Chain A
Amino acid sequence: MTVAEFAEKYSMEVLSMPEPAREIKGGYMGDLLSWVMGRAKADQAWITIMSNQNIIAVASLVDVACIILAEDVRLEESIVENAKAKGVNVLATKEPAFEIACQLSKEI
């Protein structure tokens, strides 16, 4: 399923979607950035509650399909702009990380 389809199906808020057609191939959940860089794989959806600027660099380097912000976490506007500029998809939802993982597991 693509990032755009997933966002639509689960009514996620789209904060940044420069690459709507990217396929989601699995997921990784975590807030410690070096764990994410060491363990997450390219094309996964990264579920996190971290909201500082560094998540955009991490998402870009790991090459995840998208960031999904759980628990109603939001980003500052400058971070959203940076995500768009770097080609990083960012979705947001009220759901906790576990629920998002359950939604993902139905689609991949």
Chain B
Amino acid sequence: MSEALTFHFDVNGEDFTSAGQASVRFKKNKRELGVDPEIIRRASIAMYEGEINMVIHAHGGVADVEVDEDAIKIVLKDQGPGIPDIAKAMQEGYSTAPDNIRSLGFGAGMGLPNMKRYTDEMQIYSTVGVGTTVTMKINLN
């Protein structure tokens, strides 16, 4: 891998059941490139959590992935309601997910903590009423 590879996915906010297609496709792709399976696993779970958050909390968004020799960088961007208190949102167990989403098994308030744990760097930029951007980086070495 000498030059950076980039992927762009639109994450449809209406189609809840197909969320994760991007992450699964991304996973398959990385595996074919010969990246360490445990790194792929961490990166694709983190990406899926972010994707699901955009679907559940922000009516969808876009995902951009860039892979070079050193790292996998993921940027998830939405124009949803924003996160008023990021520190609170990062706490395990904190969730504003509605009941219909909880009945599908989401809404444990563990997504953002998982994203943090599975990546080497993570930042959340959010403005209420404007949207949220989450950036994550997973080092390859």
Main secondary structure of the interface of A (DSSP, over half): helix
CB-defined interface of B82-107 with A at 8 Å, one 1/0 digit per residue?
00000000000000000000001111
Within 8 A of A (CB), among B19-35: 19-21, 23-24, 27
Closest residue of B by beta carbon distance from A32:
B108
Interface flag for B129 (CB, 8 Å): no
In the complex, A66→B111 CA distance in Å? 22
Whether the Cβ atoms of A61 and B114 lie closer than 8 Å is no
Q: Which of B4-12, B42-50, B57-65 contacts A (4 or more CB under 8 A)?
A: B42-50
Closest residue of B by beta carbon distance from A42:
B41
Number of interface residues of A (CB under 8 A): 20
Whether the Cβ atoms of A57 and B24 lie closer than 8 Å is yes
Whether the Cβ atoms of A33 and B114 lie closer than 8 Å is no
Across the interface, which residues of A come within 8 angstroms of B23, CB to CB?
Answer: 57, 61
Contact of B113 among A38, A52, A58, A60 (CB under 8 A): A38
Whether the Cβ atoms of A34 and B17 lie closer than 8 Å is no
Closest residue of B by beta carbon distance from A55:
B105
Could you list 6 further interchain pairs (A-B, Cβ under 8 angstroms) beyond the known A57-B19, A57-B24? A33-B104, A33-B108, A52-B105, A53-B17, A60-B24, A61-B23
Q: List 13 A-B contacts (CB under 8 A).
A: A31-B105, A32-B106, A37-B45, A38-B110, A42-B41, A54-B20, A54-B104, A54-B106, A57-B20, A57-B48, A58-B48, A62-B45, A63-B41
**Chain A contacts to B: CB under 8 angstroms:** 31-35, 37-38, 42, 50, 52-55, 57-58, 60-63, 86
